[in-house]
Amino acid sequence: MTLSLLWEEYKAENPEGFQYSWFCEMYGEWASKLDVVMRQEHRAGERLFVDYAGQTIPVVDRTTGGVMNAQIFVSVLGASSYTYAEATRTQGLADWTGSHVRAFGFYGGVPEIVVPDNLKSGVSKACFYEPDINPTYQEMAAHYGVAVIPARLRRPRDKAKVEVAVQVVERWILARLRNRTFFSLAELNGAIRELLERLNERPFRKLPGSRKTLFETLEKPALRPLPQEPYEYAEWKKVRVNIDYHVEFDGHYYSVPHQLFKKQLEIRVSAEAVECLRGGRRVASHRRSYIKGGCTTLPEHMPSSHRRYADWTPSRMISWASQTGPYTRKLVQQILESRPHPEQGFRSCLGLMRLAKTYGADRVESACERALAIKARSYRSVKSILENKLDGNPVIGNSKEGSPIEHANVRGAAYYSSEVAAPC
């Protein structure tokens, strides 16, 4: 707000009211009775103030014509007032932390303290004494070695530096872009960078130099160096392990050691990995998958009984049967193919394997040969053949299974046709 704007609003409601000069004098008398304000002295390299501007800039989608109101992130160093600004899609956690990372890169160094507002992306729960910092935001701060000290709730003077910077950005950058149409965030940020450079090089009115010269001579040498790698964005979430020893994130399921079922864990999710932690100790790690409804399971997380069952696949069943003999292989294939789903035949095949351990591979091979001859495709049939010692008897006609029997006393189907049959 400015006094002239306040006076215009006052005159609109009171046409016969005071003129501007008298209005300003009365305002000065009223302002002199306000609480005194402590002047803040900022040490070089100590504090970085961050906030979002109240104004937004529309970005138009070329294909749909839809309009997205871009948010304007603003940061300013305390001692030099060196300012950074950029447009983001939202004020969400990913954009919030990403703006900090890019701001640190813009300054080429890291301050000791970051002072944000009580934005939900930065502060999970506002508190005068011990505010709860969002875990992702806290992790980003720890990566750069900075302390996060939020401004007190409803105390804008705690971050007066960035309040002024936001006002300057709105007047010197956003006001100049108000009549332009932008079709992407990249195009908008390009225009902001050009005007931002001019803003930082603009000479001070009452001090020598500019924001840029003060930054280069005073503040930049006091900043700490950036880490070798920039912070990789990751989300944190509290989850409870299901009875199938899996946890869910974004529609995909990840395994943890089966001993932790029904326990509460924390998961850290980045673009590439999913880490599961309990009590600050990592208990599982997976490559992130974006398949909805999918499942990522490590064998070492399974109970031994589940692991043995999971190791079996149709191809492995057939491979074992091939080592026993061709008839066993053929029977196993028929068992698997005869079921609506191959896994429904796993137990029958496992039963044949157990029979091979009890009776030997040769007897099981002979029993499977007899079972195929009588078209008995089950574990119980093979077991019955072995228990009754029928596997030792020769299989009649198995080599010509399905072929008609030729004999002089066998008349055949043609005998009973109307053309051949004798009249009554």
Q: Specify the pTM.
A: 0.59
Local confidence band at 5 (pLDDT 50, 70, 90 cut-offs): confident
pLDDT at res. 159: 66
Tell me: pLDDT of 195 over 60: yes
Percent of the chain with pLDDT over 70: 84
The per-residue pLDDT for range 386-416, each reduced to its tens digit, is 998 888 888 765 444 444 555 566 665 555 5
Sequence-ordered list of residues with C-beta below 8 angstroms from that of 312, at least 6 positions apart, any chain = 346, 349, 350
Tell me: pLDDT of 423 over 60: no
pLDDT at res. 424: 43
Percent of the chain with pLDDT over 90: 36
Nearest Cα to Cα of residue 172 among 203, 191, 195 = 195
What's the mean pLDDT in 274-279? 92
Tell me: pLDDT of 185 over 50: yes
Of the options 3.30.420.10, 3.40.50.10320, 3.40.640.10, 3.20.20.80, the CATH number for the domain spanning 47-222: 3.30.420.10
What's the mean pLDDT in 280-300? 89
User: What is the residue-averaged pLDDT of the chain?
Assistant: 84
pLDDT at res. 262: 87
What's the mean pLDDT in 186-192? 94
What's the mean pLDDT in 55-74? 91
pLDDT at res. 234: 87
The per-residue pLDDT for range 66-120, each reduced to its tens digit, is 899 999 999 999 888 899 999 999 998 889 999 999 999 999 999 999 998 877 7
Considering only 65-79, 89-103, 206-220, 329-343, which range has the smallest mean pLDDT?
329-343
Tell me: pLDDT of 350 over 90: no
Q: Can you give the residue ranges of every domain in the chain?
A: 1-34, 47-222, 234-308, 312-392
The per-residue pLDDT for range 141-179, each reduced to its tens digit, is 999 999 998 876 656 555 678 888 899 999 989 999 988
191 φ/ψ angles, rounded to the nearest 5 degrees: -65, -40
